[in-house]
Every structure is written in C-alpha cells, then in structure tokens.
Structure 1
Amino acid sequence: MNREAFLAQLSSAGYDEIVTATRDPDGVMDLHAHPFEARALILSGELTIRIGDDAHTYRTGDIFHLAPNTEHSETYGPDGVSYLVGRR
C-alpha cells in the first residue's frame, strides 16, 4: 500500500493523530503497552513485534495493527525502521 492510500484509510477510520516514527538499527524496545490503538505502514526497514509467544516481522509496505493496552516488545532490523502510524 502506498502512503497516500494509507493516509486516506486512516482518515476514514477516524485516526486523528498521525506521526512518522523512526527507530535506530538493531534497536530493541522492551515489553510495553500504549493506551491508544495504533495502525501503521512500514515505510522502510524492518520491525518485529512480539506479543506473548508470537512474533511477526513487518517490512516495507506491510501494515500492522495494535489494539490499546496490548503488551508487546519491538526489535528493529539492521537498517532500522521508519513507519507512518495513526493513533486513536
């Protein structure tokens, strides 16, 4: 999915806060949760999200969704990651 189509999708779904996040290569964010729902499009790089025993890797063009208060950890690929995220 391209950036413009994703932004239109976020808008129609009521995501009112949209930001671009960039994370450093080979970084890790330990277990945490957000009080908001997040839907994101990977713009470049790679991100692995672990929820419990399940891990999924997202790459350029992939979309991920996290429900509010979902405990998860994040690992960033060798080139880091940049993603466009909508929050509500």
Structure 2
Amino acid sequence: MTSITIYTTPACPYCVAAKALLKRKGVTFAEISVDENPALAKSLRERTGRRTVPQIYIGEHHVGGFDDLRALDDAGNLDAMLMSHSSVN
C-alpha cells in the first residue's frame, strides 16, 4: 500500500492542523521533520517548488500544504484519495 508522508517543523501551526485532520480521518502517516536538516529542506523545496511546511504526499502525489489538504476534504475528495492510497484504521 502507498504511504502518506508529511514534512513538518515542530513549531508550525499548519503542520499541527494537517496532522490533526489526518488523525481524524483515521489514517497513519510518516512525519519527517525538516527543521534540523537543511539539505532535506532544500531538496523538498526543489521537489515541490514551495518553501513552506507542511508538505504532504499521498503516495507519490504531492497534495501540497494544509490549505490544499483542507480544500480536498471540503470538496469531498480527500476520503476517496486516502482510501485508494492507504489503510484506514
């Protein structure tokens, strides 16, 4: 099964909100903190074109940040995406 990965920093309120939304959905995810790894942060910026966290991947699909994740949920598309890519608890 495909995994969910969220790149974060500890003090980021949007990271906290994104993780809470995913937890409410009952899915497991891998959290990778980029705050003390400049090379990883640079690689993530190059890969996503974004300088902010969180950056969320469902499988190989780059969802974007918290606002993007919430927009998917508000549109009713997040549950289907999560069901097709991960195991729901």
Query: Same fold judged by TM-score > 0.5?
Result: no
Bin for the TM-score computed over the shorter chain: 0.3 to 0.5
Q: Normalising to structure 2: TM-score of the pair? A: 0.32
Q: Which has the larger helix fraction?
A: 2
